[in-house]
Structure 1
Amino acid sequence: MTYTPHANIGDRPITVIGGGTLGRRIALMLSLQGGEVRVYDTDLAVAKAAVEFIATQRHRAVEELGGTPAVRLAAKDDFADALRDSWLVVEAVPEKLGLKQAIFADLDQLAAPDAVLASNSSSFASSEFIGGVSSPERVLNMHFYMPPAVRSVELMSSGHTDPRVIELLMAQLPKYALKPHLVRKESTGFIFNRIWAAIKRESLQVVAEGVADPQDVDALFSDIFKSETTPFRFMDEVGLDVVLDIENHYCELAGVENKSAPMLQEYINKGWLGVKSGRGFYNDYS
């Protein structure tokens, strides 16, 4: 099949695969221009919770960032139905390579022939899961952080991505109050996360070795850099299960041991995943 980028988006739907912490926030941003936004999850209750989150938070985002008050939101657990005629599909599932490879092989078969297939993966380059895709020209990384508070998005080619796809997204994303940044060469961790990985790894090590508590690290970081965002608060927002998956992947690529894994696993075993579970490195989340 020869891939041809679409010239007319019109009011075609957008689909987000995964209704978790990031998936619902991505869908919230992509709802700002109206039209239909679908959230797919294998668990319909999760997809419905994501749509409810968007519906309750959207008015605030529209007031602050602009956009249209009108939107159609749909929760789906039927994959083919969720993808029908969407011009953009964003995958936001857990950082498991096999899972992503399977999803993109299915997307290749079920999504509209001209649909852009984007992965929100923060640790896997899209080149790693295009083996089962017949049209890798439409696949790329589109990495979000924590919208709507953080609206930067990194775009990185799969190595086969049609330049017109990246041009399209660079032009379209600002319409959704997003700030696209082009990653000019394949890079594990993209731009910011490559820098952040070093900060995160040493912060975890300092605590795992008993040199300091998370609160000590955050207090110093905040005072020295005059930043409201601090390492352990940020990890709680991301989710400690996600942090562990990402750290394991980075360490595997580097051929080194993840020395912070036992500490992170201990928190996860207790159900302390961060903000989404009400407790992580901090226990003051309601």
Structure 2
Amino acid sequence: MSAGSSNAHSELRIGAVANGGPSDERHEVSFAVPQDPMTRPVAVIGAGTLGRRIALMFATRGGEVRIYDPSANARRDATEYVGSELPEVVQTVPSGTPGRVVTTDELASALPGAWLVIEAVPEKFELKLSVFAALKEAADPDAILTTNSSSYPSSSFASTLSAPERLLNAHFFMPPAQRAVELMTSGTTDSRVFELLRAVLPEYGLHPFVARRESMGFIFNRVWAAMKREVLQVVADGVAAPEDVDALWRMNTGLPTGIFEGMDQVGLDVVLDIEENYARAYPHLSEAPRQLLRTYVDAGHLGVKTGRGFYPYE
């Protein structure tokens, strides 16, 4: 489920778990908020750029983090990334202790006992929908289910669950450098879920912020998407080159990273997926920013992860 994984493969694997197994009556009971989160595993669905970074943060308190991804390469890269970063990051977390990260290609083996499940697959609606259909059968009945999606509200997936009050958006940025987490209701999320996450996430060095109502793009990304769209339009119109826009941005804001550099770090395929989703919701948006992104994505220039995006990288 990393950006380089086959979506068809991912959907097939998950669909088999969601639709092929026997029903389990334990998932029909009323949702009870987990009482012992610090002693139970966390499960991350997807070992891509964000999935492995999320797993890294939850591995800083001595517990177990499980990462599911059908791609062997993604699982290997995630293990290597956490292994290299954890010794330094754990020192920045209160009472930090290195935990254990395990990876699996079987969703059912990642979920037992997990108090928190974080979906972090690519921004493909049908793929995400199939994940939550699978979680209904395989996750513990008191597990909190979250989507890391930056553009799909969790209410889009509520119909797949028998207890939608345990579902919400938990949008991570780029930890460990950026540790804010935006929490947003599905419309039916139990208020106790927010209370628990607000109390527990800081234990992992994460800083939760709650969007008070459903908002496409949450808080920060709603503003960030507008800025990305406008700078892409500036370049598409031939007004300036990416490096000029970024130089002005750095000079006038004092920030170390330009907007085009930021898009390269996220991955231009991810940026395009998000923009396509915004365009479906808001048909009046200009096509030019997406056309510009497609020229890079179609050429395989996805940013830092491929060695070239708006800028070249070693």
TM (norm. structure 1) is 0.97
Q: Is the 8 A contact 1:247 1:258 kept in 2?
A: no
Residues 20-53 of structure 1, C-alpha deviations (whole Å, 9 max, x = no match)? 0011001001111111111110113312220221
Q: Is the 8 A contact 1:44 1:75 kept in 2?
A: no
What's the counterpart of residue 233 of structure 1?
261
What's the counterpart of residue 259 of structure 1?
288
Equivalent position amino acid for 1:77 in 2: D
1:72 is the counterpart of 2:70:
no
Aligned residue among 153, 165, 172 for 2:200: 172
Q: Is the 8 A contact 2:90 2:98 kept in 1?
A: no
What's the counterpart of residue 103 of structure 1?
131
Would you identify which runs of 4 or more consecutive aligned residues in structure 1 move more than 2 Å? 63-70
1:163 is the counterpart of 2:184:
no
Equivalent position amino acid for 2:298 in 1: N
TM (norm. structure 2) is 0.88
Aligned residue among 34, 37, 62 for 1:9: 37
- For 1:70 and 1:182, how far apart are their aligned partners in 2? 28
Range with greater deviation from structure 2 (192-201 or 260-269): 260-269
| RMSD, aligned CA | 1.1
- For 1:268 and 1:197, how far apart are their aligned partners in 2? 18
Aligned residue among 66, 71, 76 for 1:48: 76
Aligned residue among 270, 273, 283 for 2:302: 273
**Alpha-carbon offset, residue 154 of structure 1:** 0.2
Equivalent position amino acid for 1:45 in 2: N
Q: Is the 8 A contact 1:105 1:130 kept in 2?
A: no
What's the counterpart of residue 154 of structure 1?
182
What's the counterpart of residue 167 of structure 2?
139
Q: Closer, same or farther in 2 for the Cα pair 1:66/1:59, shift >3 Å?
A: farther
**Alpha-carbon offset, residue 222 of structure 1:** 0.8
Equivalent position amino acid for 2:302 in 1: L
Range with greater deviation from structure 2 (5-14 or 213-222): 5-14
Q: Is the 8 A contact 2:87 2:98 kept in 1?
A: no
What's the counterpart of residue 90 of structure 1?
118
Classify the secondary structure of the residue corresponding to 1:7. coil
**Alpha-carbon offset, residue 64 of structure 1:** 3.1
- For 2:260 and 2:95, how far apart are their aligned partners in 1? 33
Gaps of 5+ in 2: 1-27
Q: Is the 8 A contact 1:15 1:90 kept in 2?
A: yes
What's the counterpart of residue 276 of structure 2?
248
Equivalent position amino acid for 2:214 in 1: E
Classify the secondary structure of the residue corresponding to 1:260. helix
Classify the secondary structure of the residue corresponding to 2:114. coil
What's the counterpart of residue 193 of structure 1?
221
Q: Is the 8 A contact 1:32 1:66 kept in 2?
A: no
Q: Is the 8 A contact 1:97 1:129 kept in 2?
A: no
- For 1:146 and 1:178, how far apart are their aligned partners in 2? 11
Aligned residue among 145, 150, 157 for 1:117: 145
Equivalent position amino acid for 2:249 in 1: F
Gaps of 5+ in 1: none
Classify the secondary structure of the residue corresponding to 1:131. helix
**Alpha-carbon offset, residue 63 of structure 1:** 2.3
Classify the secondary structure of the residue corresponding to 2:288. coil
The number of aligned residues is: 285
Classify the secondary structure of the residue corresponding to 2:67. strand
Identity in percent: 51
Equivalent position amino acid for 1:178 in 2: L
Residues 183-238 of structure 1, C-alpha deviations (whole Å, 9 max, x = no match)? 10100000001111111101000111111000000011111111113210110011
